[in-house]
Structure 1
Amino acid sequence: MPRPRDPEVDRALAEATLALLHEVGFEALALDAVAARAGVSRPALYRRWPTKLHLVAHVLAESVAPMPDPDTGSAREDLRVLATTLLDALSWVLLAVHAEARRAPELGLHERFLAGRHALVAEVVRRGVARGELRGDLAPDLVRDLLLGPLLYHWFATGERPSVDRVFDHVWPTLVPG
């Protein structure tokens, strides 16, 4: 029969993981360093998470707060707030983990982190269509990709945080009724 997990050990490992991620990044993160920083044995860490990706995906999924629905009364403002909030929450660490986690769907990182955000964009689009602010033929995933895709790509390509307003000024006309 497996031993129950100690929440204090879990907390220490999570704190150590987050600290080391900020210091060295995902690629350089070593599980031995996490265990040492947390003051726990390597077996205690490996009993909980068999790989670095499992550990980091769990810690990030547990530490990143859900994105609130801005519901400002304006589809444009709601989408702008969501895009800004997403950029504020992302870091190179989180992007690296998401890219790596695509090869390990059993971790459920997509469901635990992105699915709720995608549903929120869909709700904003639904409200915008219902109010006549957005075209009725828009697919929420297309709106997400048209608005967020350029922001993320710019960040990847340049290493600089993009201007949400600049992207919105260019993309918005394609989303609104003629």
Structure 2
Amino acid sequence: MNERRSSAIGRPRDASKDQAVLKAARRLLAEVGYQQTTIAAISRRSGVNSPAIYRRWATREALIAEAVHGPGGHPLPNESGDLKEDLKAWVQVFLVRAARPAARVGVPGLLSDSQTEESRSRLVAIGSPVRQAFSKMIGGAVGRGEIAADIDTSFLFDLLADSTSMRGLRCGLDDSDAYIESLSEALYFLATRSNGAVDVGVVRR
């Protein structure tokens, strides 16, 4: 379970403070690096005191993970009714998020510091709503008859997420238009094969 979402007795949590803390963390990552993005520094930048931050996130790593992997001002695309255009929009959003200075600094640091099952579960929890939204978009394409019902949605999502993450870390937004076009075409090709699950399995091997 996401640590900061546990139930508590008392007044509802102020969502504006959550956003102030996450925004401060992203800015600090870009400005001073991973090691210097401490809870104390985030508290000073955001104006939210450290005890309040720890009530929301149990650890510094949990806070940074959400700052890096959460939406961060880049909402997910709305469905257009055209799978090719939808995939292109998803690639663009994922690449922009991966290329943010905070992500390019924070992801390597998190990979170094977060090797526990707890940290992996936290990332799954953060990413779950995004994965569900992608599955819904693919489901819409299935309903319209654009693709087969046996499409391997999880594989497509992992390819989207992993590819854009590596590209963003290595290259930022350099030559992004060509990359977005190439990856979205590749995803569309996989998605529209006549037997999605079997063909994706071939790609995996």
2:102 to 84, 93, 113: 93
Task: Tell me the amino acid that sits aligned with residue 166 of structure 1.
Answer: S
Unpaired stretches in structure 1, ≥5 consecutive residues: none
Q: Does 1:52 align with 2:54?
A: no
The equivalences for 1:98-113 within 5 A come to 99=111, 103=116, 104-105=118-119, 108-111=122-125, 113=126
Cα RMSD (Å) of the superposition?
A: 3.9
Structure 1 residue aligned with 2:202? none
Structure 2 residue aligned with 1:115? 128
Compare CA radii of gyration and give the structure with the larger one: 1
Structure 2 residue aligned with 1:145? 158
Partners of 1:150 and 1:127 lie apart in 2 by: 23
1:127 Cα deviation after fit = 1.5
Cα distance, 1:135–1:51 mapped onto 2, change above 3 Å? same
2:171 to 155, 159, 171: 159
Structure 2 residue aligned with 1:126? 139
Partners of 1:176 and 1:65 lie apart in 2 by: 31
Structure 2 residue aligned with 1:169? 185
Cα distance, 1:68–1:16 mapped onto 2, change above 3 Å? closer
Q: Does 1:23 align with 2:50?
A: no
Partners of 1:44 and 1:16 lie apart in 2 by: 14
Partners of 2:119 and 2:54 lie apart in 1 by: 20
Q: Cα deviation per residue 1:31-66 (whole Å; 9 max; x = unaligned)? A: 333344456776666566553223334556787358
Q: Cα deviation per residue 1:64-113 (whole Å; 9 max; x = unaligned)? A: 358445211111211211221222233353451764556334984432x3
Moved more, 121-130 or 85-94: 85-94
1:146 Cα deviation after fit = 3.2
Partners of 1:78 and 1:19 lie apart in 2 by: 30
Cα distance, 1:108–1:145 mapped onto 2, change above 3 Å? closer
Cα distance, 1:129–1:106 mapped onto 2, change above 3 Å? closer
Moved more, 12-21 or 81-90: 12-21
Unpaired stretches in structure 2, ≥5 consecutive residues: 1-8, 195-205
Question: How many residues are matched?
Answer: 175
1:123 Cα deviation after fit = 1.1
Q: Cα deviation per residue 1:114-136 (whole Å; 9 max; x = unaligned)? A: 11111111111111122222233
Q: Percent identity?
A: 20
DSSP 3-state at the match of 1:29: coil
Task: Tell me the amino acid that sits aligned with residue 110 of structure 1.
Answer: V
